[in-house]
């Protein structure tokens, strides 16, 4: 079941920017924390960022802090991930996901471990050097 749909990926030169979008249906998602995760070929899934439902508090992985910005617009049922200064190491499929009973973000190192039940297919970001 596709309930959150990520889009905006593509082939991007290193050093440039890209803005990913995550669209969802239903106002129930407004109350839920939404996380961005990514998975590079041959590597385990990595928690990238998360934004809470109640107050919009955001957390970031150390590897992306300062370059990635997560925002949400509940009126538009959208969550965004602005990626600046892209690096080849950022190449991955990016997913947005939500947990049905979590409104606040966990510590960043636990983002990956949550058993998300709301997923999409993800969007591929390929960074060329």
| Residues sharing a CB contact under 8 Å with residue 61, sequence separation 6 or more, in sequence order | 46, 47, 48, 49, 108, 111
**Tens digit of pLDDT at every position of the chain (129 positions):** 568 999 999 999 999 999 999 999 877 888 999 999 999 999 999 999 999 998 899 999 999 999 999 999 999 999 999 999 999 999 999 999 998 899 999 999 999 988 898 988 999 999 999
Q: How far is CA 113 from the centre of its chain?
A: 14
Nearest to 6 by CA among 38, 32, 31: 38
Q: How far apart, in whole angstroms, are the C-alpha atoms of residue 43 and residue 114?
A: 18
pLDDT value of residue 12: 98
Nearest to 117 by CA among 96, 93, 100, 105: 100
Q: How far apart, in whole angstroms, are the C-alpha atoms of residue 98 and residue 57?
A: 15
Q: How far apart, in whole angstroms, are the C-alpha atoms of residue 31 and residue 46?
A: 23
pLDDT value of residue 61: 96
Helix, strand or coil, per DSSP, at residue 110:
helix
Q: How far apart, in whole angstroms, are the C-alpha atoms of residue 36 and residue 49?
A: 5
pLDDT value of residue 28: 84
């Amino acid at each position: 079941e596709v309930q959150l749909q990520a889009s905006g990926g593509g082939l991007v030169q290193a050093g440039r920017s890209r803005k990913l979008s995550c669209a969802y249906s239903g106002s129930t998602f407004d109350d839920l924390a939404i996380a961005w995760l990514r998975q590079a070929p041959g590597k385990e899934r990595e928690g990238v960022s998360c934004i809470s439902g109640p107050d919009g508090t955001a957390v970031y992985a150390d590897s992306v802090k300062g370059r990635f910005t997560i925002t949400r617009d509940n009126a538009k049922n959208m969550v965004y991930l602005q990626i600046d200064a892209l690096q080849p190491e950022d190449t991955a499929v990016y997913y947005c996901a939500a947990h049905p009973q979590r409104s606040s973000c966990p510590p960043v190192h636990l983002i990956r471990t949550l058993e998300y039940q709301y997923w999409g297919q993800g969007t591929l970001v390929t960074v060329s050097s």
